[in-house]
């Protein structure tokens, strides 16, 4: 099974949570394609990635798209979470920008949404995970990637302040993977 991502952080999380399956990365399969995420939903992007990688590799594929949706900003950055400041922006730049935007509001609530799909050339099996939280007032934590250092849980810790094992037990991606595992059942992958 191939994981359709070039993001090393996502790959590590998915491989750890899906540890009972034989999983290959795009790099391990010699696939250098970077699928254009131009759909207007997380699910649309995940399905597009899964289908395009399957058509190259002809192997069962899992793909996801996820992002941060901030209540005070009407769900922004949403499907543009990684790209809203352009391709050259760093996680630090994106996170500082979001903190400044949210600082103008009293409502700091946000959620992480992860759409995950399995595709075997015949059918899509879809799942979704949602993690509720808040945007912190500053970047905190050394673990994780993306917006982990600004996504604060109800216990006051950011995702980046959790150990990888703690994060992988509660993240939106972990929730989506658990749901997908149930839907896949006992089928041989």
Catalytic residue ranges = 65
Distance between CA atoms of 189 and 186, rounded to whole angstroms?
Answer: 9
**Is 75 in contact with 67 (CB distance < 8 Å)?**
no
DSSP code of residue 168: H
Number of H helices, E strands in the chain: 5, 6
Pair of tokens at residue 7: 């993001």
Of 171, 89, 95, 183, nearest to 131 (Cα)? 171
């Amino acid at each position: 099974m191939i994981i359709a991502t070039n993001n090393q952080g996502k790959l590590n999380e998915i491989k750890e949570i899906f540890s009972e399956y034989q999983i290959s990365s795009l790099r391990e399969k010699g696939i250098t394609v970077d699928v254009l995420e131009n759909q207007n939903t997380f699910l649309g992007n995940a399905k597009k990635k899964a289908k395009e990688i399957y058509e190259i590799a002809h192997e069962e594929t899992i793909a996801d798209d996820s992002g941060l949706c901030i209540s005070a900003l009407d769900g922004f950055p949403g499907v543009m979470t990684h790209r809203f400041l352009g391709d050259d922006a760093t996680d630090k730049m994106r996170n500082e920008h979001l903190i400044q935007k949210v600082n103008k509001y009293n409502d700091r609530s946000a959620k992480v949404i992860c759409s995950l799909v399995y595709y075997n050339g015949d059918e899509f099996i879809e799942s979704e995970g949602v993690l509720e939280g808040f945007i912190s007032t500053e970047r905190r934590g050394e673990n994780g990637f993306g917006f982990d250092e600004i996504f604060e849980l109800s216990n006051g810790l950011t995702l980046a302040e959790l150990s990888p094992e703690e994060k992988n037990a509660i993240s939106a991606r972990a929730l989506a993977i658990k749901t997908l595992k149930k839907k896949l059942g006992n089928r041989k992958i």
